[in-house]
Chains A and B, each alone.
Chain A
Amino acid sequence: MSFAKLSISALAVAAMSTAASARDNVQVAGSSTVLPYASIVAEAFGENTDFPTPVVESGGSSAGLKRFCQGVGTEHTDVANASRKIREKEIKACAENGVTDIIEVRIGYDGIVFASQTDGPAYTAFTQSDIFNALAPKVMVDGKLVDNPHTQWSDFNADLPAADILAFIPGTKHGTREVFEEKVIAVGCEETGAMAAMIAGGMSEDDAEDACLEVRTDGRSVDIDGDYTETLASIDANANGIGVFGLAFYENNTDKLKVATMAGVTPSTESIATGEYPVSRPLYFYVKKAHIGVVPGLKEYAQFFVADELAGSDGPLAQYGLVSDPELAATQAAVEAEETMQ
């Protein structure tokens, strides 16, 4: 059986070469929001340096940080992209697996926008309260906290179109979901007085805060676990639907989507940079310090990412839709000094 001989020898050759060669490329995993920026940087890094092009995987902030925290050694990822800050319990999980020195790098800001089909209902202006009234499981009606009775946007705000409520929001494994909950739903909860009513109804403040982050589960709010293209496809199929997108994704698809203002502010790189537009969040990546010097090009990749030429206000990242960080110089210095998180 020559097949068997061939396969055994092929495997032997492969195994030998594996043992001989350590990983020579930076391995990145994490947020699908950061992925486009990371891929732009990775391509440029490969083109502009003598290091091989880094591999950037997607999968969501939580999944990326989980893999990041699994241990030290070249079989684990070097960098985790995240569209939110690392959580306390993730730092703890990291430490349990020996990942203690983590360098946090903020690359800039990203806006979260509410957009719908260009020829769908006129969803042009929302407030956080509108989104809360549409999507929360319990809302205030006539001063009482009741199960959400709203089926149309016009039910609670006469200025909004009389169209069925249907929203496509990021699933729980996305960092975007957390921002959506904290900067939209929770704010709406407070504004409409639902939170006060919950506390008056006997809830502790913490419980009320948690209850404020919930969304209704009767099918009017749909979790999207995939990428923004999946949200876009859902919007395409449902004229009444509104979707939650990153600003960069919306700007790439202005021919298919129209954006709504939030609390009267139109989302744009300028309004996010000034902080006027309320729903924005910083984007991060986390570097495993123990891998610097082991994996070739890791520190250079981090430095290249935050260099003025890339992450600055007229670099390719800003060109694609990232809102550049005004404190970029501090970040550059921190990466240079390999400052770890406390």
Chain B
Amino acid sequence: MQFAPTDIQAILLSARVGVVATLVALPLGFLAAWLLAFGRFKGKLLLELLFNLPLTLPPVVVGYLLLLLLGSQGALGRLLDLLGIKIIFTWKAAVIASVVVGFPLLVRSIRLAMEGIDLHLVQAARSLGAGPLDIILTVILPLSRRGIMAGSSLFFARSLGEFGATIIIAGNMPGVTQTLPLAIYDYASSPSGEGTALALCAVSILLSLAVLMLHETILQHKKGA
């Protein structure tokens, strides 16, 4: 069984989208988790709902809303057009779809780790002369490290499987925006593609297993510590 060049490209693109999406989402997710874990402000519940919404919304709906926002008629899309940045129907759109859809998983994981931090540690640090940013860097970040790693692996896995939102805002162009799940979808819907679809499924399963194993190892390590 031989993969066509576009199949290899789909696998590589999926990996690339996953990596870039994780890197983009991490700082945002950390900040969001910090706000939810330690922040005391009005509208916190609303923010929490907003962050979690993609978890329950059909990804297709997320994709459609993103299309409305980022499309050439959308508020943000027009601004990006002026700046000469094109996002829709490029691989960058796939990254954005992954970031939005996987965000709740990432935030939840980091937030749980942060909420497990003894508040006395934060108070001790403050009384020892550490300002808020100092505390984030020297106390909160290192103590939520495992949550960050576990959340990132889960996020990466989710990003590898992202389909619904991606197909709407990135399209399904082989060699350009076609990720692994989209390629499988194409093969599965063509009469002669069954074999390749299965082979790509195997690749997908292997990738997901590897990431999940990493995730479990991190969690196990956490329990042991």
Are A and B a genuine interacting pair, yes or no? no
A residues at B contact (CB < 8 Å): none
B residues sitting closer than 8 Å to A (CB atoms) are: none
